[in-house]
Amino acid sequence: MEIENIVANTVYIKARESGGQKKGKSKKWKTYLQFPHYKQCLYLKCEIDVSYSYVVEKQPIGKLLFREFCEENPQYDRCCSFLSKVEEYETSDDDGESRRILANSIAQMLAPIDNNTPCSSKENQNWCNFLPETVIVNCLKVADNAKHTSEPPNDIFSEVYKLIREFLVVDAFKQFTDSMYFHRYLQWKWLEKRPVDKHTFRLYRVLGKGGFGEVCACQVRASGKMYALKKLEKKRVKKRHAETLSLNEKQILQKVNSPFVVSLAYAYETKDALCLVLTLMNGGDLKFHLYNLSPGGFDEKRVQFYAAEITLGLQHLHRERILYRDLKPENILLDDFGHVRISDLGLAVELKDNEPIKGRVGTVGYMAPEIIKNEKYSYSVDWWGVGCLIYEMIEGKAPFRQRKEKVKREEVERRVREDQEKYSEKFSEAARMLCRGLLHKEPSFRLGCRRVGPPEEGADEMKAHPFFTCGDPLTGREPVPWKKMEAGKLLPPFCPDPRAVYAKDVLDIEQFSTVKGVRLDASDSTFYEKFNTGSVSIPWQNEMIETECFQELNVFYQNGLLVTDLRPDGGNLPQKNNGKSPGFFSKIFRRTARSNSAFNTTSLGLNRPTQLCNHCLNEKANGCVCQTCKSLHDLRDVEQLSRFAPAIRTPQTNSKFTSGVSTASQNLEKENSEANDLRFCKNLPAK
């Protein structure tokens, strides 16, 4: 291994280990994330959505701040606790007994303490007096009946949940928007909307290459969070006329928020490239694992896990009317814990009104027959891709093309259209049925497309297949608890080594050639402006929470007093800080200023908090006031200074200074003519 690769890997692993910890942050991280005064952020109320559904239910920081606000009011706090428990119950995939216990604990929150007093009238009136008594009685009755069923129904508390949520929207949220907690939310939004550039990140080793540039690891200086930086070289994009394609990928990534699809955290531009900052998947891609670490294929238990998470990722994309079109092993990435995500949405497209589209796009060997035939297609092509992927994970090779097989594109496309894939003894009966259903040549008979209902809900048909619902003792496969999987509560069958780099050596990754004959001009700026949108809200807020920046900065009181940036009177508005440390010369001159601070008008209680210049200090014995200093501290200031002359103990000059002040006004005209001789004073520029 080359020394360059060893160094690159060592630095990258060290950065990865520090990511999210304090040692991964810049020493000046608090300066980067300094809150402005909340009055500077009030304009954001007119620019952002300030509804309950957005701030509390979609914004991670908004949800935490609203919860903090509610904790100060026992009624609101109890309401939030009830909603949280109901959400936990409705998304629980546990056995019937565990769900019955949880349902009973929720019912106890509504039940009267003496079993004879309605909840809304006595002991519990502080938090549920707004609920109709009939609703509570009906809910408790259903909950009591559920104790005797094997599987309690999901909707026991749905009506109560709806009423409590409405109460929080109308009452609590209205008060929240007038509180310091909402002001703090606006401060976080202000930080979130700041411009992003190359100085926001540290860059590490190259991990791979995309169609328009390299992909490397990077780290946010302020938080220490690690990401993958995908570069799209401007000249290469322009040469291939791929502006629409690049912007489309960015907009789709920005729209999707799924734990099974890579997230876009930042989008910005440099002089030479457009940059997408994405979720860093340290575990490498499935192709690397399949052909470098597990040649011959994975066991079915592992295949089932990956196939289930990919299915959930496609479900989230399809619900947003997004067609992926490029499913293959190298586009499925593993994170630190072994969970997988769909990546590279460069060929994804949004379907308007679910209307089928045409277009020959994809990777040879993974494109569906209808794409090859240039027919109209819809979500069916993604389920074909899932079939190819599952087949390859089990068999260790693609269904229609051997790895590194030298064969023409036309021959591969003929096999896809006409040949039937072959199954070895590696496939269980359920796995064989699943692949045959997904690799059906006719889209209308393909698994994921047969279901009557919305076409974007084809994932439900996949979830109901025996490969996912039935266990197999021979292969170790177990039924998939879908709700737990969607919540990320299942342990992956394989966990990547945190000390390993699952990528090619730095020197083995081909470098891009220089693009010639392309010039960037002003006409490209409109496209770059659309691309350069900075941070993406939800990933950025999650970053602040995960790296504990939120916890450390979200302080409301210091020494029993409200922090300055939240005081209604404003205090002193924070001055602009560009985050740059003072240079060498500024440090020298700052020392000079400090040395002169003994003769400061502020310390003497004068009208203007200014400081005498060097010339005045040197010439104060003569009572001289230069024209420039006159604008800072006029003659009256000098006269006031004379009253404090005893406090200024400088041998030789004290008495002379006091006597000289009385003649200062007579010397003003003379001073004008002498101003040109005062160039030695650093505060007095030459005329």
Residues with catalytic annotation?
326
Residue 579 burial (CB count, 10 A)? 12
- For residue 397, give the 3-state DSSP assignment: coil
Q: H/E/C letters for each residue in 141-160?
A: HHHHHHCCCCCCCCCCCHHH
Residue 202's DSSP bridge partners are: 219
CB atoms within 10 A of CB 193: 17
Is 141:159 a contact under the CB 8 Å cutoff?
no
- Tell me the sheet residues that pair with 264: 278
Pairwise CA distance, residues 276 & 285, whole Å = 19
**Exposed/middle/buried for 552, CB within 10 Å: 0-12, 13-18, 19+?**
middle
Q: Tell me how crowded residue 360 is: count the other CB atoms within 10 A of its CB.
A: 10
Classify burial at 662, counting beta carbons within 10 Å of its beta carbon; exposed 0-12, middle 13-18, buried 19 or more: exposed
Signed CA dihedral, 666, 669, 670, 676: sign only: positive
**How far apart, in whole angstroms, are the C-alpha atoms of residue 144 and residue 107?**
8
Contact 194, 33 (CB under 8 A): no
Q: How many other CB atoms are there within 10 angstroms of residue 285's CB atom?
A: 22
Q: How far is CA 510 from CA 211, 505, 518, in A?
A: 12, 10, 22
Please work out, in degrees rounded to the nearest 5, the angle formed at the alpha carbon of residue 58 by the alpha carbons of 56 and 63.
35
- Please count the other Cβ atoms lying within 10 Å of the Cβ belonging to residue 123: 11
The span from the CA of 3 to the CA of 530, in Å, is 41
8 Å CB contact between 328 and 363? yes
Q: Where are the beta strands (DSSP E) in 532-643?
A: 534-535, 557-558, 561-562
- CA–CA separation, 493 and 91 (whole Å): 23
Six-digit token string for 525: 């700026």
Q: Which amino acid is at 284?
A: G
Which structure tokens are listed for 61?
A: 């920081």
Collapsed DSSP state (helix, strand, coil) of residue 94: coil
Residue 76, sorted as left (phi over 0), alpha (psi -120 to 50) or beta, turns out to be: alpha
DSSP state of 685: -
Report d(CA 244, CA 247) in Å as an integer. 5
Is the separation of the CB atoms in 684 and 617 below 8 Å? no
Alpha-carbon dihedral sign for residues 640, 644, 646, 649: negative
Tokens coding 292: 């470098």
